[in-house]
Amino acid sequence: MSEFKKPNVGFWVISIIAFVWNLMGVLNYIAQAYMTEDMKVLLPQGQREYIENVPAWATAAFAIAVFAGLIGCLSLLFRKKTAKIALLISLLGVIVQMSHGFISGIENAYGPGGIAMPIMIIGLSIFLVWYSRFVDTKGWLS
């Protein structure tokens, strides 16, 4: 039987921050997916038009990205190897979702943040896939 090692404080800090980040992603998805017409009217016209024209496949990828990310980070907190596959699925969802944003000119609706935020999300998703594999090699996941 292999030894199950105790993770350091950095593991817990990263895992908790990643969990909160993905929880915010889930809340963002729910807010966008269930946005009423009254809420959409309050948005700037460019953002409203962008949201109204997101195809179903991009919305599905958004859901997969955030829910798999949340499950992956929860798995990290419980120190389970399932974190690796859940975070990989999340990354794939992020790539599909963000490809729509880049192709459809999200920066026209959201300005420079329309490019900066997706790049940051992709980077964090890549980091979490790498990190889950890294902590597994340290023996911190079972």
Determine the structural domain holding residue 72 and report its residue range.
9-137
- Mean pLDDT on 98-123: 86
Number of structural domains found in the chain: 1
pLDDT tier for residue 64 given thresholds of 50, 70 and 90: very high
Residue 142 lies in a domain: no
Residue 2 lies in a domain: no
Residue 19 lies in a domain: yes
75-89 pLDDT, tens per residue?
Answer: 999 999 999 999 999
Residue 4 lies in a domain: no
SS3 letters across 69-101: HHHHHHHHHCCCCHHHHHHHHHHHHHHHHHHHH
Q: State the first-to-last Cα distance of the chain, in angstroms, to the nearest integer.
A: 11
Running DSSP on this structure, what letter comes out for residue 141?
Answer: -
- Mean pLDDT on 52-72: 96
Residue 23 pLDDT more than 90?
yes
Residue 1 pLDDT more than 60?
no
- Average pLDDT value over all residues in the chain: 93
Lowest-confidence segment of 9-13, 14-18, 52-56, 107-111 by average pLDDT: 107-111
pLDDT for 109 equals 78
Residue 59 lies in a domain: yes
Other CB atoms within 10 A of residue 128 CB: 27
Residue 102 pLDDT more than 90?
no
pLDDT for 122 equals 97
pLDDT tier for residue 46 given thresholds of 50, 70 and 90: confident
Residue 102 lies in a domain: yes
